[in-house]
Amino acid sequence: MKPLIYLEIRQIINSIKYATRSPKRLIPLLLMGAWICSWLIQGTAFVSGDIKPRHTDLGLIQHLPVETIEAIIFIVLSIGSMMVMYNAFSSGTMVFSLAHIDFLFPTPVSRRHVLLLQLFKDYIKYGFYVTFLFLVIGAPMYSGLGVALFPWGLLSITAVTALLLTVVNLSHTIYIVFTFGFERLRQAGILIKIALGIGPVTAVGFGIYQYIQTGSSYASILWATNSPVVSFVFAPARWCATLLLAPLLGVTAEEWFHFVCLWLLAGASFALLMSRRENIYEPSLGISTRFALRRQRMRFGDFAGARVDALKEKGTRHLGGLDIPPFGAGATALLWKSLVVRYRVSRSQVALMLIVPVLVIFVIKHTIADQITDMLPYAPAVLLYVVWLLSLTAPTEMRNELKQANILKSMPIAAWKVMLAQTVNSVIYLTAGVLVFSGAMWWIIPETRGPVLLSCIIGAPFLGFANISLTAIPGVLYPQNRDVAQNYISGLLSFFLVSLAVIPSVVLGVLCLIFFRTSYYTAALIISAANIAVGAAGVTISGLIFRRYDPTGD
Amino acid sequence: MLRVSNLTKYYKKTLAVDSLSFDVRDGEIVGLLGPNGAGKTTVLRCVTGIVQPTDGVIEVEGVNLSTNEEDAKRRIAFVPEVPTPYEMLTVYEHLRFIAMAYQTMDSFEERAETLMHRFDLYDKRGDLVLSLSKGMKQKLAIACAFVHDAHVVLLDEPLIGIDPRGVHELKEMITSAKQEGKSILISTHMLDTAERLCDRIIILRKGAIVAEGNLAELHERARMGTDASLEDVFLTLTEESPTNLLAPQ
């Protein structure tokens, strides 16, 4: 145990020293710390009654019967627990660092000690998360209800922690035993999976039966969650749900007993995990490597890389769906490549791009559309805001593209054409988004059909071209997405430039429509011409920067 | 001495190592060669206890790895392929941690100083590992392997990424370890290094041994003249041909 304690202590001390010696690292850390502290202080202030929530009316929650709130908590806890345990049959959650794999696992340090320390670290983390969430969400809520959170809130926090530890310990045990254990154990695992599945199946059965009998969905859900099989299979989640309401309802002797049972379960599951003789190292190898890679990608904002990793993990060889056939030569071929790669890397985003606008427009139609009927013909102007928003993602794309700068620079294509191809790629996706959005407007809200919508459809791609060509400049200027400072400056500059790019459109729009009273179409054409000029300037500037860009330097 | 008998490893239903048996005697350097995916790293991971063999016995100086893991591991040093050391430790602390883990603190200071000098790490002993280049991290991993007095040394692609001086130092260390009677197993793709450094070579393909022996024996096995290089022998023996899947001689 001594080497492990030495390792942990030295790493903590060195991390603190490392963070405090550079303002670049210290400032984000202080901001994050201040953010967490502000929540904790606010939570404790609610608890002590020093402050009251601004809105004492908690809306729906205030009017819900206690048994409904308990049922909701129970459903969340039991489904969550079950999903974690089901997943454990295929994928583990015990994550070690790559350094542990390379340098600790081969040493003679006892595996039990390694596991014990890892669990201890995880437990502290979970305890903190539970307390933090309870103070952030629970404190203002109970304060709004005029109920003191403590002392019973402490019971709630410890009860949830006990349930969490039980679920985590069991999921680790399941993964180690049933995924990497002997074949006969794997078969036993299937039986446990079936037993776990009985709970939700009977719940659904009970629910449907009650719905047929009573016709009330509310009563059916309550019946289903209170059915004997569900209550038995998910008893710990039931106890925990009741104990979470302790500040509101107090604690009975039976609930005290359940509280003790929860901790006994946590202890028993810990003992069960520690008693296993299977090698914990091998089951953790795959997940640890994947986790380390993903964390690195996320830290550097490399979402495309993360998506590629996910495809690799799935063993994907081909992607179905839209097939973009090769076209063009030189810069046009580059455009084709960028379109294909972007589609493959962010297919789920493309799918969302098709669904979200329809949903948003649908919600608007059925909520506020009746109250703003006079404004509806001008509502398509919101498309310009959508263009502005989507343009902000362009630098990330540009920086991802520049990771292949070695290849791009060696191609016999002029630098400005490379930049143009990249800009047009983003403009095409942006235009597709705008078309879906405006199509949804046209289809769902007939009042928007008119010259404003058509003018916006004409003008949006050109405004996008101007915005994207300018926001691409910081992407080329600060290409290193591994550098936090470059990320920050690039983001800030992009925001400034995209705001700058909108100015000609706003000024020309005001001049055309208010002073010269031209038609919407004429205004759209004039603004589009101006945006083409701005876009061309942006492409020229980013092309000049790219020509001098050294892919080997940092 | 390292003895591996009937080592078999399945990853779910994929056979990675197939009934592999070999030994590395005291004072011997054995090279483990094979194309990508042949199972070299899996063999080394099984021997170091990172991965659990599906079947077979691994003995380190007569100590069974599965029944007496900690004792067996104490006798092994391991240099992983593309090592990822603890970034938040300094070079000195990293070596110290490894020495503590192997419970060999007696002559640590002296050994650590010598190793840091040999691998150009002395000037960086107070620097965090995260500030080291890839090559320096590799050197640190090698230093970690030699900071405790192991009798069996396992090296997985140890020469990748280090400068010529580092390569020279490592070769010197391997040779002197051999002279001290240690058993050394090197997994590598560098055939010329294997040819010059190793006493015996084991060639793996699809988790099984296709050939084993010294260079002369390998020439004979590949039915090639003595003037043929190890590269020619390797390419011949690892060709996708049914005759090459025969049991080793």
Q: β-pairing, B14-24 with B2-11?
A: antiparallel
Q: Answer whether A296 touches B (CB < 8 Å).
A: no
B245 confidence band (pLDDT: 50, 70, 90): very low
User: Which residues of chain B have a CB within 8 Å of the CB of A97?
Assistant: 84, 86
Whether cis (ω within 30° of 0) applies to the bond prior to A151 is: yes
> Are the Cβ atoms of B87 and A99 closer than 8 angstroms?
yes
User: Which residues of chain A have a CB within 8 Å of the CB of B97?
Assistant: 3, 6-7, 10, 103
User: Which residues of chain A have a CB within 8 Å of the CB of B90?
Assistant: 14
Task: Give the residue from A392, A337, A402, A429 showing the smallest Cα distance to A542.
Answer: A402
Largest Cα separation within chain B, whole Å, is 55
> Are the Cβ atoms of B50 and A101 closer than 8 angstroms?
yes
Structure confidence at residue A263 (pLDDT) = 93
Angle, alpha carbons B34-B40-A90 (nearest 5°): 130
Cβ contact A423:A535 at 8 Å? yes
User: Which residues of chain A have a CB within 8 Å of the CB of B96?
Assistant: 6
A359 SS3 class: helix
A525 confidence band (pLDDT: 50, 70, 90): very high
Structure confidence at residue B249 (pLDDT) = 41
**Distance in angstroms (rounded) separating the CA atoms of residues A286 and A290:** 6
Which one of A15, A97, A279 has the shortest CB-CB distance to B52?
A279
Q: Answer whether B140 touches A (CB < 8 Å).
A: no
Q: Answer whether B69 touches A (CB < 8 Å).
A: yes
The answer to whether residue B36 scores a pLDDT higher than 50 is yes
Structure confidence at residue A541 (pLDDT) = 92
Q: What is the mean pLDDT of residues A216-234?
A: 78
pLDDT per residue as tens digits for the range A350-374: 788 788 888 888 888 877 777 778 8
Q: Which amino acid is at A199?
A: G
Cβ contact A94:A287 at 8 Å? yes
Beta bridge partners of B203: B33, B211
Q: Which amino acid is at B112?
A: A
Assign residue B62 a region: left if phi > 0, alpha if psi is -120 to 50, beta otherwise?
left
**Distance in angstroms (rounded) separating the CA atoms of residues A105 and B52:** 12
User: Which residues of chain A have a CB within 8 Å of the CB of B128?
Assistant: 14, 18
Q: How far off is chain A from B228, nearest CA to CA, in Å?
A: 37
Q: Which of A294-298, A315-319, B40-44, B101-105 has the lowest mean pLDDT?
A: A315-319
The answer to whether residue A491 scores a pLDDT higher than 90 is no
Structure confidence at residue A526 (pLDDT) = 93
| Extents of the domains making up chain B | 1-75+151-162+182-249, 84-149
> Are the Cβ atoms of B85 and A11 closer than 8 angstroms?
no
Structure confidence at residue B134 (pLDDT) = 83
* End-to-end Cα, chain B, rounded Å: 21
Q: Answer whether A109 touches B (CB < 8 Å).
A: yes
Q: Answer whether A97 touches B (CB < 8 Å).
A: yes
Is the Cα dihedral A178, A182, A186, A189 positive or negative? negative
Angle between helices A451-477 and A394-401 (to 10 degrees): 40
Distance of CA A546 to CAs A404, A408, A422, A447, Å?
13, 10, 12, 46
The alpha helices in A175-216, defined as continuous H runs, are: 180, 183-214
Buried b (16+ CB within 10 A) or exposed e, A501-520: bbebbeebbeebeeeeeeeb
Q: What is the mean pLDDT of chain A?
A: 81
In chain B, DSSP assigns E strands to: 2-11, 14-24, 28-33, 55-60, 63-64, 76-79, 152-156, 183-187, 200-205, 208-213
Cβ contact A458:A473 at 8 Å? no
Q: Which amino acid is at A460?
A: A
Q: Provide the token pair at A27.
A: 């400032």
Structure confidence at residue A174 (pLDDT) = 84
pLDDT per residue as tens digits for the range A84-130: 888 877 777 777 888 888 888 888 888 888 888 888 888 888 888 88
Q: How far off is chain B from A106, nearest CA to CA, in Å?
A: 5
Q: Answer whether B239 touches A (CB < 8 Å).
A: no
Cβ contact A426:A466 at 8 Å? no
Q: How far off is chain A from B49, nearest CA to CA, in Å?
A: 6
The answer to whether residue A536 scores a pLDDT higher than 90 is yes
Beta-carbon contacts below 8 Å between A and B: 91
Structure confidence at residue A361 (pLDDT) = 86
Structure confidence at residue B2 (pLDDT) = 86
Q: How far off is chain B from A105, nearest CA to CA, in Å?
A: 6
Cβ contact B216:B204 at 8 Å? no
Distance of CA B212 to CAs B156, B204, B209, Å?
18, 9, 7
- Domain B1-75+151-162+182-249 coded CATH 3.30.420.40: no
- Provide the chain B residues 46-65 that lie in CB contact (below 8 A) with chain A: 48-52
A535 confidence band (pLDDT: 50, 70, 90): very high
Question: Chain A: residue nearest B96 by CA?
Answer: A3
Structure confidence at residue B246 (pLDDT) = 46
User: Which residues of chain A have a CB within 8 Å of the CB of B94?
Assistant: 103
DSSP code of B248? P
**Distance in angstroms (rounded) separating the CA atoms of residues B38 and B245:** 13
User: Which residues of chain B have a CB within 8 Å of the CB of A18?
Assistant: 88, 128
User: Which residues of chain B have a CB within 8 Å of the CB of A180?
Assistant: 52
> Are the Cβ atoms of A6 and B100 closer than 8 angstroms?
yes
Question: Chain A: residue nearest B67 by CA?
Answer: A277
Is the Cα dihedral B89, B90, B91, B96 positive or negative? negative
Q: What is the mean pLDDT of residues A249-270?
A: 88
Which residue has tokens 């049933």? A178
Q: What is the mean pLDDT of chain B?
A: 83
Which one of A15, A102, A107 has the shortest CB-CB distance to B101?
A107
Beta bridge partners of B212: B202
> Residue B192: CA atoms inside 13 Å, Cβ hemisphere, count?
1
Which one of A14, A278, A281 has the shortest CB-CB distance to B50?
A281
**Distance in angstroms (rounded) separating the CA atoms of residues B103 and A95:** 26
Identify the residue with better confidence: A307 or A123: A123
> Are the Cβ atoms of B102 and A99 closer than 8 angstroms?
no
The answer to whether residue A56 scores a pLDDT higher than 60 is no
The answer to whether residue A404 scores a pLDDT higher than 90 is no
The answer to whether residue A58 scores a pLDDT higher than 60 is no
Angle, alpha carbons A89-A93-A97 (nearest 5°): 140
Task: Give the number of residues written for chain A.
Answer: 554
Structure confidence at residue A540 (pLDDT) = 93
